[in-house]
């Protein structure tokens, strides 16, 4: 018999007898999820809204596991939406289910498990009071930590309760149920499973195979109705712990997650997650324009980090890097506008130096990276990202045979005459644009290849060209404090040697 859809009328039922009169039937939670998933797939509904880049493999595998009534584990590096995915699973539950009123472990009125519920049903029969539990209350989650105990997860004897109510330790009433039984008839998730001590993992074996628990010396087993989900970093990628083999064997499906497989998908995720609209609802807010290539550069920073010889690839590079980086980039532009009393501004290449804090705290370095220093590695990644994205918009400056370098003759010739460009992060726009306009051919080059929509975007594109030429080792760049100076490559090298010899610049503050 099909389970009737939940409605306002059905949730008005208040006794076990009324449930029977309405032919209400309780299904195991895995069957309940399977049935609702089947309906939504037939209707073409979106199952995991906001999850991007997993449509081809990950989401179908999760759906397959649910259709097969499997307990499963999501295996992947940090920042791959594992927790977000499992927190969406309760949406596949029925909106409400009936439980015995006052039950600690969501007892099924037709088949109660706890002593309290069993006695209540035996005494009251069809007059047993019920209450309706919303699906949001049928989900439990625990972050695995080394101090997690069996009592936390499954339960223990409560001596205080025994003393207060004058019960013996043989009485079931002295049991204090843990978080897993309290999510009976629901979903329970353990994040970072390898962090759970092996002896605690052993306590999960019965739940996974026999679907029951035993607490202390009680010779009775409590049957549970749970869907168990786990997340973990791949075993070889962490030295914090591992999943014991018997438990791994009892997890029906292992599903591998991954980072965005293209920069376009990565940008979609960052666009969705980052806080960008700063002026909304704020009288003193600033509207910040971020040209598209900045978003590509920010995303490419993560791509470069995942390929860098200085970064620990086993630790992974979370997509949180790009979210935080884009927010820092916007904040740098926003701050500059506030300092100068402006309500509108455009991101500049110089603002990317303020992205460094978003990288250093989220990227684990290998020994060579530690030797270079976190900030230098972050700047290196930003530089590589700029160089990579630049080729999407402008001719390749290193392409001699294809004529790419010819496009830069006027710009390089101007610097070759001994000229240089000085830029600071907080420059007013008029001064910033005027300094860039001095370079022969630079504005025309930017307009021809980027098609900027405003003078501010034109100036940003002009700085983009200068920074890319530096990354291609065709212009020198001196960084002293907050000022950066672009100059002829050979002149920059010679001047840096002279300045260091004269002791005018502290080598620790000087970077080319």
Length in residues, the chain = 512
Determine the Cα–Cα distance for residues 459 and 480; give it in Å rounded to an integer. Answer: 22
Q: Per-residue pLDDT averaged across 452-474, rounded?
A: 96
What are φ and ψ of residue 511, in 5° steps?
-135, 140
pLDDT at 333: 96
- Above 50 in pLDDT, residue 324? yes
Per-residue pLDDT tens digits for 25-71:
999 999 999 999 999 999 999 999 999 999 999 999 999 999 999 99
Antiparallel, parallel or unpaired: β 475-480 and 510-511: antiparallel
**163: its two tokens:** 């003393």
- Above 80 in pLDDT, residue 466? yes
pLDDT at 88: 97
pLDDT at 150: 87
pLDDT at 216: 66
342: number of CA atoms within 13 Å, CB side? 19
pLDDT at 310: 96
Q: Of the ranges 43-52, 142-151, 463-472, which one carries the lowest mean pLDDT score?
A: 142-151
Determine the Cα–Cα distance for residues 500 and 287; give it in Å rounded to an integer. Answer: 42
For helices 409-416 and 455-471, give the axis angle rounded to 10 degrees: 70
Per-residue pLDDT tens digits for 284-304:
789 999 999 999 999 999 999
Per-residue pLDDT tens digits for 12-33:
899 999 999 999 999 999 999 9
- Above 60 in pLDDT, residue 237? no
Determine the Cα–Cα distance for residues 110 and 88; give it in Å rounded to an integer. Answer: 28
**348: its two tokens:** 């500049």
Q: Per-residue pLDDT averaged across 187-193, rounded?
A: 95
pLDDT at 173: 73
Domain boundaries, the chain: 10-256, 266-392, 395-512
Determine the Cα–Cα distance for residues 273 and 512; give it in Å rounded to an integer. Answer: 34
Q: Would you tell me how many other CB atoms lie within 10 Å of the CB of residue 102?
A: 12
- Quick one: pLDDT band at residue 108, thresholds 50, 70, 90? very high
Q: In the chain, pLDDT over 90 holds for what percent of residues? A: 70
pLDDT at 506: 46
Determine the Cα–Cα distance for residues 463 and 144; give it in Å rounded to an integer. Answer: 48
CATH number, span 266-392: 1.10.8.80
Q: Of the ranges 209-213, 325-329, 390-394, 465-469, which one carries the lowest mean pLDDT score?
A: 209-213
pLDDT at 3: 45
- Above 90 in pLDDT, residue 338? yes
Highest mean pLDDT among 163-167, 206-210, 436-440: 436-440
- Above 70 in pLDDT, residue 508? no
- Quick one: pLDDT band at residue 155, thresholds 50, 70, 90? confident
Q: How far apart are the first and last CA of the chain?
A: 75
- Quick one: pLDDT band at residue 1, thresholds 50, 70, 90? very low
pLDDT at 75: 94
What are φ and ψ of residue 15, in 5° steps?
-135, 160
23 Cα distance to chain centroid: 44
- Above 60 in pLDDT, residue 101? yes
pLDDT at 404: 82
Per-residue pLDDT tens digits for 384-443:
999 999 999 999 998 877 778 899 999 999 999 999 999 999 999 999 999 999 999 999
- Above 80 in pLDDT, residue 157? no
On whether the CB atoms of residues 110 and 24 are closer than 8 A, the answer is: no
Determine the Cα–Cα distance for residues 508 and 456; give it in Å rounded to an integer. Answer: 33
**251: its two tokens:** 């997890």
- Above 90 in pLDDT, residue 307? yes
On whether the CB atoms of residues 259 and 313 are closer than 8 A, the answer is: no
What are φ and ψ of residue 354, in 5° steps?
-85, 0
pLDDT at 233: 86
Q: Per-residue pLDDT averaged across 131-155, rounded?
A: 92
- Above 90 in pLDDT, residue 80? yes
Instruction: Pick 217 or 374 by higher pLDDT.
Output: 374
For residues 453-489, one letter each, b for 16 or more C-beta atoms within 10 angstroms of the residue's C-beta and e for the rest, the string is eeebbbbbbbbbbbbbbbbbebbbbbeeeeebebbbb
pLDDT at 507: 41
215 Cα distance to chain centroid: 37
CATH number, span 10-256: 3.40.50.300
Determine the Cα–Cα distance for residues 249 and 253; give it in Å rounded to an integer. Answer: 10
- Above 60 in pLDDT, residue 498? no
Per-residue pLDDT tens digits for 342-397:
999 999 999 999 999 999 989 999 999 999 999 999 999 999 999 999 999 999 99
């Amino acid at each position: 018999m099909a389970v009737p859809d939940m409605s306002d009328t059905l949730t008005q039922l208040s006794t076990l007898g009324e449930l029977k009169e309405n032919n209400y039937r309780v299904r195991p939670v895995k069957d309940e999820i399977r049935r609702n998933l089947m309906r939504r797939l037939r209707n073409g509904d979106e199952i995991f809204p906001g999850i991007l880049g997993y449509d081809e493999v990950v989401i179908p595998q999760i759906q397959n596991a649910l259709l097969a009534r499997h307990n499963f584990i999501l295996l992947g590096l940090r920042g791959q939406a594992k927790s977000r995915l499992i927190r969406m699973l309760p949406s596949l539950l029925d909106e409400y289910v009936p439980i015995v009123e006052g039950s600690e472990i969501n007892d099924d009125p037709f088949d109660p498990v706890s002593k309290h519920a069993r006695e209540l049903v035996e005494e009251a029969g069809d007059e047993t009071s019920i209450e309706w539990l919303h699906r949001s209350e049928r989900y439990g989650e625990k972050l695995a930590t080394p101090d997690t105990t069996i009592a936390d997860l499954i339960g223990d004897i409560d001596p205080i309760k025994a003393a207060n109510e004058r019960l013996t330790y043989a009485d079931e009433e002295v049991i204090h149920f843990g978080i897993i039984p309290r999510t009976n008839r629901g979903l329970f998730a353990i994040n970072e499973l390898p962090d759970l001590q092996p002896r605690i993992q052993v306590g999960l074996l019965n739940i996974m195979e026999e679907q029951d628990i035993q607490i202390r010396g009680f010779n009775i087993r409590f049957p549970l109705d749970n869907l168990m989900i786990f997340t973990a970093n791949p075993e070889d990628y962490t030295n914090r712990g591992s999943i014991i083999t018997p438990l791994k064997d009892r997890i029906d499906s292992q599903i591998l997650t991954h980072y965005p497989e293209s920069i376009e998908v990565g940008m979609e995720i960052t666009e969705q997650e980052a806080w960008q609209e700063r002026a909304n609802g704020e009288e003193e807010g600033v509207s910040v324009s971020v040209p598209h290539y900045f978003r590509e550069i920010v995303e490419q920073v993560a791509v470069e980090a995942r390929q860098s010889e200085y970064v620990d690839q086993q630790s992974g590079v979370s997509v949180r890097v790009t979210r935080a980086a884009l927010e820092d980039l916007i904040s740098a532009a926003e701050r500059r506008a506030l300092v100068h009393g402006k309500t509108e501004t455009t991101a500049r290449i110089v603002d990317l130096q303020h992205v460094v804090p978003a990288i250093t705290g989220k990227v684990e370095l290998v020994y060579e990276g530690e030797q270079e220093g976190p900030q230098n590695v972050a700047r290196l990644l930003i530089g590589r990202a700029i160089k990579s994205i630049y080729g999407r918009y402008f001719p390749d400056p290193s392409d001699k045979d294809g004529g790419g370098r010819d496009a830069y003759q006027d710009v390089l010739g101007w610097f070759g005459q001994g000229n240089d460009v000085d830029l600071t992060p907080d420059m007013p726009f008029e001064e910033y644009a005027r300094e860039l306009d001095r370079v022969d051919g630079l504005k025309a080059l930017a307009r021809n290849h980027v098609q900027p929509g405003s003078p501010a975007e034109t100036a940003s594109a002009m700085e983009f060209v200068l920074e890319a030429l530096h990354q291609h080792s065709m212009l020198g760049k001196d960084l002293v404090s907050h000022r950066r100076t672009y100059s002829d490559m050979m002149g920059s090298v010679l001047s840096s040697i002279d300045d260091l010899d004269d002791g005018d610049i502290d080598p620790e503050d000087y970077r080319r």
